[in-house]
Each structure stands twice: as C-alpha cells, then as structure tokens.
Amino acid sequence: MIIVMAPNSTEAELENVKNKIKAEGLDYHLSKGAVRTIVGVIGDKKAIGQLEMHHLSGVEKTVRITEKYKLVSREFKPNNTVINVGGVQIGGKKPIVMAGPCAVESMEQLMEAASAVAEAGAQFLRGGAFKPRTSPYDFQGLAAEGLKMLREAADANGLKVVTEVVDQRSIETVAKFADVLQIGARNMQNFQLLKEVGRAGRPVMLKRGLCATIKEWLNAAEYIMSEGCDDVIFCERGIRTYETYTRNTLDLSAVAAIKELSHLPIVVDPSHGTGRRSMVRPMAMAAIAAGADGLIIEVHPHPEVALSDGDQSLTPADFKEVMEDIHRMSRLLRGEE
C-alpha cells in the first residue's frame, strides 16, 4: 500500500501514520518530494490488506499496489520520470544515444571514438573499464586507468560518461568518474551490488538479465530505488533463447511493457541484442518506434581489431548514418528538435 500525504500535511500527521503502520507490525519506506510525501508500506501481504489508513488526518489518498515492486511502479507515480544528467534529459521528448567501444583499450582508440560519436550527435560516451568476461583468461579491462580515460575523452567532446560497475568495492571509484553507473546483465540479481549502487548518489542504468523476466527486472530496480536512488534507467539488451542466429533475442515488447508498468525510462542496446553489425540499424529504428527513450550502441574506430565484440561494433561512418535515421524517426514520432 502506498499512502499519499496531503501537500499541507504536518510532521505530526506523518508521525501518526508511521506509528499506525508500526503498530500493525509493518514497516514503511518514505519518499519525500518537493510537494508531497509518499509512504510505501512494506511487510506481510495479509496485514497490509487489512490496513485502513485513508481516514487518518493528513492523508490525501491510499493506493493498493498488488505487485511486490512499488516505487518503480506506475501506480505509485503515474507520470514519466525524466532524469537530468548534467543537462541531458533521459526520458524526455528526445531519445538520447550512448555510444562508444565495448571496452576501453587505449586513449587513442577512445578519443577517436568519442570525437566521432559526439560529432554524430550522441550525448553519452560508453565504454567498459571493468569487463565481466566469461573466461578468466579474456581481456578484463583497464580498470581505474580506463575510467580516467573515459572522463577525459568525454570532457574533451562534451559528452557524459556511462560505464559499468562490477563490484561493490569499486563503486566509489567508478562514481567519481562516471555520470551514470551501469549494472550489467550478469549482475542484475547481484542484490548486494544493487543495494550499494542505490546509495552511490548517481543515476543507475540497469541492464536486463540474460533470462530475467520483466517482473524480476522491475524488482531488481526496486532494490536500487528502495536504497534512495530515484534515477533508474532500464536497458533492454536481448534475452537468451534457443535462437542462435542472433547473439541474443532483442525483446522490444519489453519496451512497451516497461512503459505500462513503470514510470522509469528505458533504453535499448541493439549491439548486444543482436551481436551483428548489420542488424544494429533496423533494431535501433524499431526500438525508437516502440517507444524507447534512447539507445546504447557500440562504435569502434576500427572494429576489426577490437579486443571485445568487434562483430557487433559500428564504424564511425555507419554510426553517423544510423544517427540520421534515428533523428528522422524521432522527429516523426515526437515532433521534437
């Protein structure tokens, strides 16, 4: 149950609401906005079912939420969340684009990539400094050194940085250099990491797990939000199915589902989603048409020598063309720019 306090309600009224909840053996989560305070009641479903709060002084209304995720749900917050990252709006009228190499390999590679993606109109530089790889003998990333390069290349080109955090111990370091912290697919249910990243003071982009259901994904976001982070971005990156022609099966219906069930923005990764360079453009177009708030696309100045995921990386020239198509599509759909 969500309890919406009236705009002019007092602290004492809020206190009374909290006590009433506690008295029933339940707990609560507070979300204090500029105008309104919202109280999410947590605990035994049956006890919540019997709770009567709407008649209490200072309560504007109560909303019964049937799903386990509450803060991420559209029932809790009917309007779309727009996340402001240093002036770039995620979830607003214009789709944003995050682009760059799979892994940070060197300053030269990164500068070349950053300059190309900025010129083509991307707002974010992406690139992995810590790479979670299937085998311990694969390239694991440049770590802190890579983070610094990302920041430098981004700043030199007027871009924001989004990069993955793979581990609780490095959250602070990553947060120092990145504008948005990414949780990778393999860590979507690494609940300790979700909790700690939720306290890092940065927006978090949460990739969907390889075989996560939409509901599990929403619950994973709830872990982050329940620690105090309001700025979560979903990222659909393909799910694992029996099909082997594509690396994953990009599930664009997840875009429509997230838009129905949650107020949070969602971006799509057609590079990992297909694993094939030739499919990035059509799937990017389809993602925007389905209602995605943005894209994350792998761009490498020289895909043929990439240390990771070369087969799915666009060249800067390809990327430029894709960006032009995306802008045409976006203008058609939302009339912006």
Residues lying near its own copies in the complex (CB under 8 A) are found at 42-43, 68-69, 132-138, 166-169, 186-187, 189-193, 195, 210-211, 213-216, 219, 222-223, 226, 239-246, 249-253, 255-257, 259-260, 273-274, 278-279, 282-283, 285-291, 328-329, 332-333
CB of 127 to its own copies, least distance (A): 18
CB of 194 to its own copies, least distance (A): 8
CB of 86 to its own copies, least distance (A): 29
CB of 115 to its own copies, least distance (A): 29
CB-nearer residue toward its own copies: 9 or 274: 274
**What count of Cα atoms within 13 Å lies in the side-chain half-sphere of residue 268?**
32
Count of CB atoms situated within 10 Å of the CB of 285: 18
Cα 148 from Cα 125, distance rounded (Å): 13
CB of 157 to its own copies, least distance (A): 29
Q: Are 292 and 275 in contact (CB under 8 A)?
A: no
CB-nearer residue toward its own copies: 19 or 213: 213
CB-nearer residue toward its own copies: 156 or 276: 276
CB of 244 to its own copies, least distance (A): 7
CB-nearer residue toward its own copies: 43 or 115: 43
CB-nearer residue toward its own copies: 86 or 242: 242
CB-nearer residue toward its own copies: 33 or 282: 282
